[in-house]
Structure 1
């Protein structure tokens, strides 16, 4: 394992340093294709898993992406990319516009840093990309940004689905199928894109290449949890394409309910 990567997987009990800033010139962007909506609080033991529902699914987007160039396809397939997930309690009833700005301001306003919140989160919080030749749900697929875009792709409401009707695009997904939260409450997830190959190649600390925050979602006590939702088309498609860790729910697929 490259030097420095072990510290990302096992947080130090000492106070975390100020968060590293993402580069404003990076080609890399994270887009949340599937937002977490609810979860049932799990127990203290590692065996009690109550996955966040639906499983958060992120997509890697590249500025000026060209599916016809091998360099861009190689980037999407690079196994050295990883996305880390951090749990942050949401202490306010609404999200103000400053949450889309400076990351240190967001963490200060929430009253906690990601490194101090992760004990509430169990499961696989660091995942590698899952590459597919064709997006399994092209009707909801976002456009890759261009240098002429004026809106950041992380601002989900401002990024329209792809207008390339019938044109299948390759895609790289980061799928969090095994996340559980130990305590009931209102939370958000912070996702950070990193490439541990940079540590291996340069010996320097790992930069954060992109960052995005989920919408707030509620974790219920066991007696109040309303049940799991039916799986989305995206979830079903990714499982059919080989991501076997995803569990599908719905008619003929297991327990679930439509809401």
Structure 2
């Protein structure tokens, strides 16, 4: 059966030289696969870049101009680089431990997910270990871990908040506007799959067209900070100033790149790694439950000059306490 799913929708870094197929032959390379750099600090070297979410946001208060509260705890993502080894010696990959913090950047995108998929107390709300595992877990048809999927699938249709004219035709819409009401969840069978599926959580399909990144406020592009993590040096991206303009349950997509490095056949800065993080919930001011004490990771990051908010004790919402 042809499911028509494109698990790597918009997820290639462009053509690169495929030396195994002959000189001059080009083949597309998916994000997260080894890349041979033609410029920058890794010129001539073949590396694989990986992201790992060390800490996901748990909750946030809906953004308001007079009351801006960032997501808490601050999302933190580890950057890891692996260099292709020598096949003759049997060493196929070696992690780089001394990497210059020059040119690396990470950006985030925002995607809505159904509230039914979120439970802050359940293990299912924890972050997947890697972007590769995130895309393959659960068993898409044709994957190495294929299982019988559950029906019906759910998804958020393209522009679910668009209105219709009186004659039933789709109204002309202005540039992106934050929807004022909850997104309408659509249901699908196995015979009608959207073409831009990029991720899935259980039986919910996350599509590129459901992206709500303009609803993010704050620093959406950050540089990594070199810190001591678990006894060794590590480059960690920290999003300590990030808020959301609407209520609901969301996940973040992290994408890392090196603005000073390039790959053959791609004139633009390539995306080297991506990761879909764990779910978090954004509340209205009235329903916001309060803030937990700062995590040990957050406290450690603050020692290296990362701008984060520290709390030694839990802070409950005053309005909820009065009730």
Normalization by structure 1: what TM-score? Answer: 0.66
Are residue 42 (structure 1) and residue 63 (structure 2) matched?
Answer: yes
Describe how 1:50-199 pairs up with structure 2 within 5 A: 50-63=69-82, 64-67=94-97, 73=98, 75=99, 77-91=100-114, 93-94=116-117, 99-101=134-136, 104-106=196-198, 109-113=205-209, 116-132=211-227, 134-135=228-229, 138=230, 168-198=231-261
Aligned length: 195
Q: Per-residue displacement from partner, 1:23-44 (whole Å, max 9, x unpaired)? A: 422521111111111111112x
Instruction: Give the deviation of 1:169 after TM superposition.
Output: 0.7
SS at match of 1:54: coil
Runs of 5+ consecutive residues of structure 2 not aligned to the other structure: 1-8, 13-29, 35-46, 83-93, 119-123, 141-194, 317-323
Measured in 2, the distance between the counterparts of 1:81 and 1:202 equals 20
Q: Greater CA deviation, 101-110 or 206-215?
A: 101-110
Query: Relative to structure 2, which stretch is displaced further, 185-194 or 199-208?
Result: 199-208
1:213 positional shift: 0.9
Specify the SS of the correspondent of 1:29. Answer: strand
**CA displacement 1:141-192 (0-9 Å, x = unmatched):** xxxxxxxxxxxxxxxxxxxxxxxxxxx2111110000000010001000000
Q: SS at 1:197's partner residue?
A: coil
Higher strand share: 2
RMSD: 3.1
- Deviation digits for residues 102-142 of structure 1 (CA, Å, limit 9, x no counterpart): 9952269324447x51111110010001012x22xx2xxxx
Which of the pair is proportionally richer in helix?
1
Partners of 2:105 and 2:264 in 1: CA distance:
16
1:24 matches 2:33: yes
User: How many Å apart are 1:204 and its aligned residue?
Assistant: 1.1
Q: Aligned partners of 1:202, 1:22: CA distance in 2, in Å? A: 15
1:221 paired with 2:287, answer no
Secondary structure of the 1:119 match is helix
Q: CA deviation at 1:241?
A: 2.4
Structure-2 separation of matches of 1:216 and 1:61: 22
Q: Is the 8 A contact 1:99 1:106 kept in 2?
A: no
Tell me which of 281, 300, 309 is aligned to 1:247: 309
Alignment CA distance shift 1:172-1:219 (3 Å) = same
CA distance in 2 between partners of 1:203 and 1:27 (Å): 17
Provide structure 1 residue ranges, at least 5 long, that are not aligned to the other structure. 1-16, 68-72, 139-167
Give the SS at the match of 1:234: helix
Deviation at 1:226, TM superposition (A): 0.5
Partners of 1:61 and 1:86 in 2: CA distance = 20
Cα gap change, 1:216/1:61 in structure 2, threshold over 3 Å: closer, same or farther?
same
Q: Give the structure-2-normalised TM-score.
A: 0.54
CA distance in 1, matches of 2:269, 2:276: 20
Partner of 1:148: none
Give distance in 1, aligned partners of 2:135 and 2:102: 29
Q: Is the 8 A contact 1:19 1:104 kept in 2?
A: no
- Measure, in 2, the Cα distance between the counterparts of 1:196 and 1:113: 26
Q: CA deviation at 1:93?
A: 3.3
Counterpart in 1 of 2:315?
A: 256
